[in-house]
Structure 1
Amino acid sequence: MGGLNTAIDFLVFSLLSYLGVYYIIAQCISYGCGVLNSYLLNRAWTFQQQSKRGMYEFLKFTALSVLTLIVTSFLLTLFHYKFNISLPYSKILVTIVSIGLNYVGTKFWVFKLK
């Protein structure tokens, strides 16, 4: 599932960047698309949650997603402007960080087995 989320994020980011959308706005939109897909698929397949969806669970998932977005946006700016790494390669690097943060956070906090 993570691969599909990543592909959605990267493809939307690439399209928006190609269309001239400012990179931070493109990052927020593309990441949001991946996050929505991630919540729906991770809940059902990756972590096989059988219980009813709760507002608390969704709020934790949203909080994790916002934290990851802040971290990746900061790193995207750092890699691209401070270290002069091209935007597509910077996006690849922050995507690796994002995958790690999201997996650990969803497994051990959001969808933690009771």
Structure 2
Amino acid sequence: MIKKWLSLIKFALVGVVNTLIDVIIYAVLTKFHLNYLAAQCISYSAGVLNSYLMNRKWTFEQKEKGSKREFFTFIGVNLITLLITTFLLTVFYKRLGISLHISKLLVTGISVGINYLGTKTFVFTKLKEEGQVYED
């Protein structure tokens, strides 16, 4: 039980770093008048790259070399998260009239939950035997 909480805490700390990367890049890109959706895709992608590297080694303590399945599943989880956050960003900003930066913070918070569940459930799993997944 403690190991699961520790995993969540580590994921949250990595998320803080990812969020800082994401928000800083987003702010810089929008400051230079890049379209907010293009800025979202670029800034989110930078956070995703950091997330993969840090979560693989530190949070989920994967010792073996990463597989193509793991990497592409990770990208898939993050693409789904990106689609959801991009949609919500547009809803909050364009439809509800919430400021762009507050909208960005709201969707970032939502993305944490989606991403943790997807990453823990589908990406960084440990195999007992070929094809069998177990939880710690």
Quickly name the TM-score band, shorter chain normalised: over 0.9
2:23 is paired with a residue of what secondary structure?
Answer: helix
* 1:48 matched to 2:61: yes
Residue of structure 1 in register with 2:73 after alignment: 60
User: Identity of counterpart residues, as a percentage?
Assistant: 48
2:126 is paired with a residue of what secondary structure?
Answer: coil
1:20 is paired with a residue of what secondary structure?
Answer: coil
Note the C-alpha offset of 1:98.
0.9
Q: Which amino acid aligns with 2:77?
A: L
Give me the TM-score of the superposition, normalised by structure 2: 0.82
Tell which has more relative contact order, 1 or 2 (C-alpha 8 A, sep 6+).
Answer: 1
1:52-79 CA-partner distances (Å, limit 9, x unpaired): 1100000000101111110000000000
Structure 1 unaligned regions, length at least 5: none
Q: Distance in 1 between the 2:56 and 2:72 partners?
A: 14
Residue of structure 1 in register with 2:104 after alignment: 91
Note the C-alpha offset of 1:113.
2.8
Q: Which amino acid aligns with 2:44?
A: Y
Residue of structure 1 in register with 2:47 after alignment: 34
Q: Which amino acid aligns with 1:110?
A: V
1:105 is paired with a residue of what secondary structure?
Answer: helix
Note the C-alpha offset of 1:109.
1.0
Q: Which amino acid aligns with 1:39?
A: Y
- Tell me how many residue pairs correspond in the alignment: 114
Q: Which amino acid aligns with 1:105?
A: G
Residue of structure 2 in register with 1:77 after alignment: 90
Residue of structure 1 in register with 2:38 after alignment: 25
Q: Which amino acid aligns with 2:17?
A: L
2:71 is paired with a residue of what secondary structure?
Answer: helix
Structure 2 unaligned regions, length at least 5: 1-13, 128-136
Note the C-alpha offset of 1:51.
1.6
Residue of structure 2 in register with 1:104 after alignment: 117
